[in-house]
Amino acid sequence: MNTTTVALTDVGKSYGRADALSDVTLALRPGITGLLGPNGAGKTTMLRILATALAADRGTVEVLGSDPGTATGRTAVRRRLGYVPQETGFPRGFTAFSFLDYLAILKEWSDAETRHAEVRRVVELVDLTDVAPKRVSALSGGQRRRLVLAQAMIGQPDLLVLDEPTTGLDPAQRGRLRDVLGRAGESATVLISTHQTEDVAALCERVVVLDGGRVLFDGAVTDLVRQATGRVWMADDRHPAAQHAWRTGTGRVRNVGDPPPDAELIEPDLEDAYLLLVGDAAHDAGLEAVS
């Protein structure tokens, strides 16, 4: 399916004099797209705009055929949206089940029987059945994160906007989450913001990199990785020309940057490519500032 479900055109958002987003143009289709970028890149602002929590200051936004700039458009989007914010609290005294029931009521599931069946479905989906009757305050950080994901899955939404959904999850939980999201991405449009490049590599066919409120890269994950070919090498020590270098478990140093002529080149991964992209952008910005 190649239908565009989310379209941002020249979108901008400012907080005071600081631009959080500048002229962002982006089109999303069903499938899973990863959103990478350093802290302060504008990822959360962009996700909040797509999730209808914030309005853009400039440009046009179309989500699932509706304009979230209008009240009716927002409601239309919200009926088909699942959202995981970067951080959220929970009403005190609520159990995991009652928290999901609360959100399901707000998502207009008015019939108690079907609502409870849906809550049980999402509880099972994120593997929280055993703790559903427990108070949220008694759950671990990973369980709470899965609980937030569960509420996003209520009603099998057409658009999932997930801000760092894997934070705090152990590898087994992350694997389970990938399975859940992978299946959701077969029909829905899923946008995942994360600092975990391995999640993007494992789940996403497409990646968008934001930095300083601008889109640095938008394309296939393989295309981004390819950009780093010939720029990652192993050596016994850190090389002065490397933008990033770290000693690996083998005792040798992985260098990322512009290699010397005799470098022992290796295959780059997504993290290498991301570091190079952001590092090169910062370098170019520095040169522009000097000139």
Partner 1 sequence: MSTTWHVDATALASYAEGRCAPVVGASVEAHLMDCRECAAALRELLPHEPVERAWHAIRAHVEEPRPGFAERLMTRLGLSTETARLLGAVPAFRGAWLLGLFTVLVFAGFASLFAEDLGLALFLVVAPLVPVAGVAVSFGGDADPAHELVTVTPYSSLRLLLLRTTGVLATSVPVTVLLGLGLPGPAWLAVAWLTPALAGVSLTLALAPYVGTSTTAAVIGGTWSVAVLTANRLGDPVEVVEPLMQVLLAAVALVAAAAVLLRHSSLDLLGRHS
> Minimal CA–CA distance to 150: which of 100, 80, 89?
100
Question: What values do phi and psi take at 278, rounded to 5?
Answer: -70, -40
Question: Exactly one of 27, 105, 265, 266 binds partner 1 (CB under 8 A); which one?
Answer: 105
Q: How many residues bind partner 1 (CB under 8 A)?
A: 43
Question: Exactly one of 2, 3, 18, 89 binds partner 1 (CB under 8 A); which one?
Answer: 89
Residues paired with 135 in a beta bridge = 95
- DSSP output for 117-134: HHHHHHHHHTT-GGGTTS
Residue 69 vs 279, nearer CB to partner 1: 69
* Gap between the Cα atoms of 198 and 127, Å rounded: 22
* 83 sits near partner 1 (criterion: CB under 8 A): yes
Q: In angstroms, give the least distance from the CB of 206 to partner 1.
A: 24
- Show the site string, 15-34: x = touches partner 1 by CB under 8 A, - = not: --------------------
CA 46 to chain centre: 10
* 93 sits near partner 1 (criterion: CB under 8 A): yes
Q: In angstroms, give the least distance from the CB of 55 to partner 1.
A: 6
Question: Exactly one of 4, 25, 114, 129 binds partner 1 (CB under 8 A); which one?
Answer: 129
* Gap between the Cα atoms of 265 and 256, Å rounded: 10
Q: In angstroms, give the least distance from the CB of 99 to partner 1.
A: 8
* Binding residues among 219-248 for partner 1 as defined by CB under 8 A: none
Q: In angstroms, give the least distance from the CB of 136 to partner 1.
A: 10
Residue 89 vs 240, nearer CB to partner 1: 89
Q: Residue 196: what residue type?
A: Q
Helix, strand, coil percent content, the chain, rounded in steps of 5 = 35, 25, 35
- Give the CA distances from residue 131 to residues 70, 78, 92, 177, in Å, rounded to whole numbers and listed in that order: 39, 28, 16, 17
Cβ-based neighbour number of residue 147 at 10 Å = 24
* 117 sits near partner 1 (criterion: CB under 8 A): yes
* 53 sits near partner 1 (criterion: CB under 8 A): yes
E-state strands within the chain: 6-15, 18-28, 31-36, 58-63, 81-84, 159-163, 189-193, 206-211, 214-220, 232-235, 242-247, 253-257, 264-265
Region near partner 1 per CB under 8 A, out of 34-42, 83-91, 202-210, 270-278: 83-91
Q: In angstroms, give the least distance from the CB of 139 to partner 1.
A: 13
Binding residues vs partner 1 (CB under 8 A): 48, 51-55, 71, 74-75, 78-79, 81, 83, 85, 88-95, 97-99, 101-103, 105-108, 110, 112, 116-117, 120, 123, 129, 132-133, 148, 151
